[in-house]
Amino acid sequence: MDELKVFSGNANPDLAHAVVDYLGIPLGNCQVFEFSNENTFVRIMDNVRNRDTFVIQPFSSPVNQSIMETMIMIDALKRASAGRITAVIPYYGYGRTDKKDQPRVPITARLIADLLTTSGANRVLTVDLHAAQIQGFFNIPVDELSAINLITNHVKKKNLENLVVVATDIGITKRARDFAERLNAPLAIIEKRRLGNDDRTETLNIIGDVKGRIALTIDDEIDTAGSLINSVQTLLKAGASEVYSCCTHPIFSGPAIERIAASPVKEVIVTDTVPVRPEKKLDKITVLSIAPLLGEAIHRIHTGLSVGAMFQQDS
């Protein structure tokens, strides 16, 4: 693997270190920092000429800075004659802005895809996009990994009896159905609608039977935890005995941690696609490492093996 180079921005360096530990190689040496005038500076310190290079950077807080760092790192690698540049984006920020659902609004997920391609990325590796259609926004190859096996393996070890998997939104029903199949559990769906642009939701109905069952809610991300708390209260009111929750991306912005701490949810299972700061690590929050999944995918991309086969083997 002497031709493989992995670099990291400032968004989640711990994840990048865990990935290179899995690969058995050192993390690439680079300088990435911000001047006092808020301009981002990048310098690649290693020789990358004709090398297969990977930049690991989730678009997490501060989101816009993380995106700019990624694009400038890609540009620096391109100008240093890297052979191939793969943007490894465990969390694709702006993924919710994937369509025009109001008049005179942008499709920012498409704009970011265009910017990444223009900056020089040859391919993208990501995890659990908010909407599968985002793959089609790129004119370069996109590999979308899923944390489904990682999370369901953790849930199986808990030996939860009489389990029901609950999709917290109609849009995530397909993913929730895959969870239910792997856990050999029935599926229920919470029908809700979003109120305006301020993360408020209204629960309309529960489709399926949750009475007397242990509920496991599924979502791609937890932001302010408003939807999560709504879902937990609705399920308990409908007769669920306990509620567990899982998601891939623990954004945990604003009042999220206080809401989770005060809620009756038994456990919140997440991954480290974005960093969970020490002050946000409650006893009821379990963080699973996505590093082996990313490391194996990087190895397969580098050596020309199938990335999709990873999930065929585990299913």
Q: Are 163 and 141 in contact (CB under 8 A)?
A: no
For the stretch 3-52, pLDDT in tens is 999 999 999 999 999 999 999 999 999 999 999 999 999 999 999 999 99
Q: Which CATH architecture has domain 4-146+291-314?
A: 3-Layer(aba) Sandwich (3.40)
Q: Are 7 and 71 in contact (CB under 8 A)?
A: no
Residue 202 has pLDDT above 70, yes or no: no
- Average pLDDT along the chain: 93
Binding-site residue positions for D-ribose 5-phosphate: 194, 219, 223-227
Binding-site residue positions for Mg(2+): 130, 169
The domain limits of the chain are 4-146+291-314, 148-288
- The yes-or-no answer to whether 4-146+291-314 and 148-288 have a common fold is yes
Residue 194 has pLDDT above 50, yes or no: yes
Q: What CATH number does domain 148-288 carry, 3.65.10.10, 3.40.50.2020, 3.40.50.720, 3.40.50.12280?
A: 3.40.50.2020
| DSSP designation for 142 | E
273: amino acid identity, one letter: T
Mean pLDDT of 148-176: 94
Residue 1 has pLDDT above 60, yes or no: no
- Name the percent of the chain lying above pLDDT 70: 95
Q: Are 189 and 207 in contact (CB under 8 A)?
A: yes
- CA-nearest of 115, 141, 92 to 300 is 141
Task: Determine the Cα–Cα distance for residues 77 and 82; give it in Å rounded to an integer.
Answer: 6
Q: Are 256 and 222 in contact (CB under 8 A)?
A: yes
- What CA–CA distances, in Å, run from 146 to 63, 158, 208, 259? 22, 21, 25, 27
pLDDT at site 211 = 95
Confidence of residue 169 (pLDDT cuts 50, 70, 90): confident
Buried b (16+ CB within 10 A) or exposed e, 262-271: ebebbbbbbb
Mean pLDDT of 191-204: 64
pLDDT at site 2 = 62
Determine the number of helices (DSSP H) and then strands (DSSP E) in the chain: 9, 14
Mean pLDDT of 99-107: 92
Binding-site residue positions: 37-39, 130, 169, 194, 219, 223-227
To which residue do tokens 């209260």 refer? 233
Residue 302 has pLDDT above 60, yes or no: yes
Q: Are 93 and 63 in contact (CB under 8 A)?
A: yes
Confidence of residue 200 (pLDDT cuts 50, 70, 90): low
Query: Which 3 state secondary structure label does DSSP give 193?
Result: strand
Binding-site residue positions for ATP: 37-39
pLDDT at site 315 = 44
- Name the percent of the chain lying above pLDDT 90: 88
Conformational region of residue 195, where left means phi above 0, alpha means psi within -120 to 50, and beta covers everything else: beta
Confidence of residue 199 (pLDDT cuts 50, 70, 90): low
Q: Are 249 and 232 in contact (CB under 8 A)?
A: no
Confidence of residue 142 (pLDDT cuts 50, 70, 90): very high
Task: Determine the Cα–Cα distance for residues 143 and 270; give it in Å rounded to an integer.
Answer: 21
**224, HSE (Cβ side, Cα atoms, 13 Å):** 10
Give bridge partners of residue 221 from the DSSP assignment.
249
Give bridge partners of residue 24 from the DSSP assignment.
none
For the stretch 254-292, pLDDT in tens is 999 999 999 999 999 999 999 999 999 999 999 999 999
Task: Determine the Cα–Cα distance for residues 313 and 300; give it in Å rounded to an integer.
Answer: 14
| Cβ partners under 8 Å of residue 218, min gap 6 | 165, 166, 167, 168, 172, 175, 176, 179, 246, 247
Residue 130 has pLDDT above 80, yes or no: yes
Tokens representing residue 107 in the block: 């499709």
The CB density around residue 200, as the number of other CB atoms within 10 Å, is 13
Give bridge partners of residue 56 from the DSSP assignment.
8, 88
* Catalytic positions, written as ranges: 192
Residue 66 has pLDDT above 70, yes or no: yes
Q: Quote the Cα angle for 306-308-312, to 5°.
A: 115
